[in-house]
Amino acid sequence: MKNKVVLITGASSGIGRALAFAFGRQQASIVICARNVESLETVGAELSQAGIENLCLQADVSNESDVRQLIDATLRTYGRLDILINNAGISMRSMVLDLDPEVIRKVMDINFMGTVYATRYALPHILKTKGSIVGISSIAGYRGLPVRSGYSASKFAMNGFLEALRTELLDTGVHVLVACPGFTTSNIRVSALNNQGRVAGETMRDESKMMSAEECADYILKAVIRRKRDLVLTSQGKLTVFLNKWIPGIMDRMVYNTLAKEKDSPLKVKS
C-alpha cells in the first residue's frame, strides 16, 4: 500500500473509520468522506496523530455533484487514485406493509447510487493505476432479510453492479472486490431508518459478541492485497450464504425466527 491513494466513503465511524487506519498503517495516503463534518474531522485528526497522511472531504454520496467534486479534489491533492472503497451506507427497519416507499428510495440512493457515482467517476483514474474497486456489501446482498427489504435490495443491487463491472473490466488489470461482513459492530443499526424515515437512535441487537470493525477492516485489507474476488465474513455469514443456496425454503423460516428475536421486532417467533 505504500504511496498508494485510497478513497473511503462513509469513513466517519465504524468500518469506514477502521479501514482508514488499516490502510493508513500500510503507508497509504487516505482520503475520507462523510456527511457529518464534525465526526469526519475527528477521524482526520486521529489519523494525523497516528502519522497517517489524510485528506478529509465532506460529501454526500447520494449527490452526484458531491461525488464528482470528491474525485476531483482527490486528484488535485494527490494526482492519482489507486483504491476506491464504497463503504457509505445506511440501513432501515420496517415491515413493507408499514413502509413509506421514500425510505427505500433514500437507502437506494446512498447505498447503491452512491456506489454507482463514486465508481463511475473514479474508474478512469483507477484504470490508469490498475487499482482496486471495493464494495462493502452485506450478507443481506445474498439473502433477503425481513424487515430490511430496502437494505437488502440496495446490497443485491450493489453486488450485481460490481459483478457486471468486474466482467466488463476483464483484462484491464483492475481488481473488483465485493466484501460482505456479517453482523459487525458499527453504528449502522443505530442510524437505521424506521418506516417513516426517522433515525432509530439505538441498536436492536446485542453487539458484544459481534466481529469488531477493526477485525473486519483487517480482513478487507488482506483481500485487497491478495486481489480476491469475494469476501464473506463471520461463521454465521458464511453459513447463511451456503445454506441459502442449498435449502432456501428452510432458510426462510430460520432467518425469520432469527430476526424475530431482535428487540422490538414486528416479526413473531414461530416454529
Least confident of 9-18, 186-195, 196-205: 196-205
pLDDT band, residue 193 (cuts 50/70/90): confident
pLDDT per residue as tens digits for the range 30-65: 999 999 999 999 999 999 999 999 999 999 999 999
pLDDT per residue as tens digits for the range 93-110: 999 999 999 999 999 999
Instruction: Calculate ∠ Cα 153-149-59, nearest 5°.
Output: 60
β strands within 14-161, DSSP E: 29-34, 54-58, 83-86, 132-136
Decide if 91 contacts 149 (C-beta within 8 A).
no
Least confident of 136-145, 158-167, 200-209: 200-209
| Complete DSSP assignment for 195-255 | TTS-B--S-SS--TTSBPHHHHHHHHHHHHHTT-SEEE-SHHHHHHHHHHHH-HHHHHHHH
Topology annotation, domain 5-236: Rossmann fold (3.40.50)
Exposed, middle or buried: residue 263 (CB in 10 Å: 0-12, 13-18, 19+)?
exposed
| 142 catalytically annotated | no
Task: Give the residue extent of every domain in the chain.
Answer: 5-236
Residues of 130-146 as b/e, b for ≥16 C-beta within 10 angstroms? ebbbbbbbbbbbbbbbb
Identify the residue with better confidence: 48 or 199.
Answer: 48
Per-residue model confidence (pLDDT) at position 203: 56
Q: Residue 204: pLDDT above 60?
A: no
Q: What percentage of residues in the chain have a pLDDT greater than 70?
A: 93
pLDDT band, residue 201 (cuts 50/70/90): low
Q: Residue 205: pLDDT above 70?
A: no
Average pLDDT rounded to a whole number, residues 186-193: 67
Per-residue model confidence (pLDDT) at position 266: 86
Q: What percentage of residues in the chain have a pLDDT greater than 90?
A: 79
pLDDT per residue as tens digits for the range 220-258: 999 999 999 999 998 888 999 999 999 999 999 999 999
Cα separations in angstroms, 264 against 93, 144, 267:
11, 20, 9
Per-residue model confidence (pLDDT) at position 111: 97
Question: pTM here?
Answer: 0.92
Which residue is catalytic, options 117, 121, 142, 151? 151
